[in-house]
């Protein structure tokens, strides 16, 4: 399967504004890229890039005063298979977890384990450890939260999501991550592309997606509390403790996001000539 991915973000800045952008496909998908997702700026401006502590590819720019368009148009190869389901995956006791997973047991900016620990143990202590416990958490979060873009705000945390019972995909992920960490399961936030491949219409407005990965039985597995079913065609952009580590843009000055478009769709061989 081949998937066309891309975006166009238009910012307006009242003054030159430094930005960090996390918009490039994750290095773990590098071998799948057919047409690279080069970042195009209009007007053209210099950019530099670096790899952050979580392995995400980040670009640095100084947005000029006025209007700036950021865009990419790429093609990537995908297996076409849904997310892996492994009900037999066991939970690893904390004392045997690899050192690099321990940071994903701790509270973070959007995942307040201290506030949610008592609730998590009350809700999930009786659930089977391992895969089924994570799935039980996803089931609860999926039922507990009402989805709606009108409920989105940048500062919303897992605790606030639990209290308000509403949010968008990143809020579902944050609450599930916090619950997993409270139950001694390492969990990390993921952002990327997720289209409607294999999903019957009607389809919603396309956006970047948020999901999470839980560490079970020696490896990381994908979970998605928002959709709560295995999905086809995920393309990872970034991972981190929560959305603060995987923000598509971090701006160091005033700016307005004037327009926002994300594309992710399956293409056939006859359509490739138009890429």
Q: What is the pLDDT of residue 206?
A: 86
Residue carrying structure tokens 């019957």: 200
pLDDT along the chain (275 residues), means of 10: 97 97 96 97 97 96 98 97 97 97 98 98 97 98 94 94 96 98 98 93 85 97 97 97 96 95 87 51
Cα separation, 245 vs 107, in Å, equals 13
Task: List, in sequence order, the alpha helices (H) in 168-255.
Answer: 169-182
pLDDT of residue 269: 67
Beta-bridge partners for 259: 10
> Distance (Å, rounded) from C-alpha 202 to C-alpha 79?
24
E-only strand ranges, 110-234: 146-147, 166-167, 187-193, 209-216, 219-223
Q: Which domains does the chain have, with CATH numbers?
A: 2-79+248-267 (2.60.40.2250), 94-245 (3.10.620.30)
Q: What is the pLDDT of residue 203?
A: 78
Find out whether 53 and 238 touch, Cβ atoms under 8 Å.
no
Q: For 112, phi and psi rounded to 5 degrees? A: -85, 90
pLDDT value at residue 271? 53
Q: Count other Cβ atoms within 10 Å, centred on residue 273.
A: 6
* Cβ–Cβ under 8 Å, residues 231 and 18: no
């Amino acid at each position: 399967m081949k998937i066309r991915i891309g975006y166009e973000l238009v910012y307006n800045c009242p003054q030159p504004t430094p930005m960090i952008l996390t918009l490039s496909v994750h290095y773990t998908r590098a071998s799948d890229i057919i047409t690279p997702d080069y970042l195009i700026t209009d007007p053209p401006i210099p950019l530099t890039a670096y790899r952050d502590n979580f392995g995400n590819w980040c670009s640095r720019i100084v947005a000029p005063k006025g209007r700036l368009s950021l865009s990419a148009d790429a093609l990537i190869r995908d297996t076409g298979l849904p997310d892996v389901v492994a009900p037999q995956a066991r939970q690893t006791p904390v004392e045997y977890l690899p050192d690099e997973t321990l940071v994903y047991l701790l509270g973070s900016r959007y995942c307040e384990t201290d506030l949610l620990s008592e609730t998590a143990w009350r809700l999930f202590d009786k659930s089977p450890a391992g895969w089924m416990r994570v799935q039980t958490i996803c089931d609860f979060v999926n039922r507990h939260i009402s989805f709606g873009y009108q409920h989105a705000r940048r500062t919303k945390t897992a605790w606030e999501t639990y209290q308000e019972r509403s949010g968008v995909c990143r809020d579902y992920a944050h609450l599930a991550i916090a619950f997993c960490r409270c139950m001694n399961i390492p969990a990390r936030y993921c952002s990327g592309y997720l289209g409607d491949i294999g999903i019957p219409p009607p389809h919603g407005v396309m956006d970047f997606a948020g999901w999470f990965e839980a560490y079970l039985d020696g490896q990381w597995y994908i979970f998605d509390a928002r959709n709560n079913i295995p999905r086809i065609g995920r393309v990872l952009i970034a991972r981190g403790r929560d959305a603060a580590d995987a923000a598509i843009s971090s701006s160091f000055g005033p700016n307005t996001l004037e327009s926002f478009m994300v594309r992710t769709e399956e293409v056939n061989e006859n359509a490739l000539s138009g890429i």
